[in-house]
């Protein structure tokens, strides 16, 4: 795929329905991008794809580098990231200030996708991680009800994520969806909130091409109801 085109495997609604026992090798996903988010088989931990390397963020907040050839993902979103805008900014109020900055930088992108990367020192950062399914087809709401949260201060690292337009809710997560990994690649997870310490580097790319690949030969997916649960998605991904 060309730079700044979105590739997605499966649907967030499928994860909500517990479709996570199967998937595709992450190496297949990496053919489409070097920057992204996702999860792993049975929703064990959070995924971050940073500069083409894949990391699994576990329930205790620790991080391991994974082999994309032997590791399966039931859901992932990636792009070949080439920022169209790069600025330095202080995001004292975290997500709120980031939202305002993105709106200012790209007001034309309301109905487009954005890829986002933040690099710098975070005065405070809070993230969560989930331990995975306890049984086949256990839905994402139940999985995330057992999530653990972690808060760090003065942590240097990278935030990777996407802003998806509202009309894709249920296909993906509408709004800003962000994961964090520390500079030493030892801590990370799904961001709940953050504050920056001084200026950080913000890279953004506007994306207008979206490719969706659905699971094939997956009984869980074929039998899933895939009803959009907007409130449930907001609860687990907000």
What does the pLDDT look like over 96-107, one tens digit per residue? 999 999 999 999
Query: What is residue 236's predicted lDDT score, i.e. its pLDDT?
Result: 79
Residue 127 has pLDDT above 70, yes or no: yes
User: pLDDT by residue (tens digit) across 49-74?
Assistant: 999 999 999 999 899 999 999 999 99
Query: What is residue 238's predicted lDDT score, i.e. its pLDDT?
Result: 63
User: pLDDT by residue (tens digit) across 18-50?
Assistant: 999 999 999 999 999 999 999 999 999 999 999
Which whole-number Å values give the CA distances from 183 to 63, 159, 166, in the listed order? 11, 10, 32
Handedness of CA 31, 41, 14, 234 (dihedral sign): negative
Confidence of residue 232 (pLDDT cuts 50, 70, 90): confident
Mean per-residue pLDDT for 151-155? 95
Of residues 53 and 198, the one with the higher pLDDT is 53
Query: What is residue 237's predicted lDDT score, i.e. its pLDDT?
Result: 77
Read off the DSSP letter of residue 169.
Answer: B
Q: How many residues does the chain have?
A: 238
Q: Which residue has tokens 């942590």?
A: 155
């Amino acid at each position: 795929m060309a730079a700044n085109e979105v590739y997605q495997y499966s649907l967030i609604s499928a994860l909500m329905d517990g479709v996570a026992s199967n998937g595709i090798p992450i190496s297949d996903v990496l053919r489409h991008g070097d920057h992204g988010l996702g999860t792993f088989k049975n929703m064990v931990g959070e995924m971050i794809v940073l500069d083409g390397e894949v990391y699994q963020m576990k329930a205790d907040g620790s991080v391991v580098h994974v082999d994309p050839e032997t590791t399966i993902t039931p859901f992932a979103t990636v792009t070949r990231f080439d920022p169209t805008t790069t600025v330095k900014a202080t995001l004292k109020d975290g997500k709120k200030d980031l939202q305002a900055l993105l709106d200012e930088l790209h007001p034309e992108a309301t109905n487009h996708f954005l890829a986002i990367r933040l690099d710098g020192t975070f005065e405070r950062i809070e993230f969560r991680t989930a331990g995975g399914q306890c049984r086949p087809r256990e839905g994402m709401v139940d999985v995330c009800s057992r999530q653990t949260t972690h808060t760090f201060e003065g942590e240097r690292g990278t935030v990777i994520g996407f802003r998806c337009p509202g009309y894709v809710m249920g296909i993906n997560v509408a709004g800003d969806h962000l994961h964090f990994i520390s500079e030493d690649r030892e801590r990370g997870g799904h961001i709940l909130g953050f504050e920056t310490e001084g200026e950080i580097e913000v890279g953004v790319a506007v994306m207008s091409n979206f490719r969706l690949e659905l699971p094939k030969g997956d009984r869980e997916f074929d039998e899933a109801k895939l009803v959009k649960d907007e409130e449930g998605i907001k609860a687990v991904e907000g």
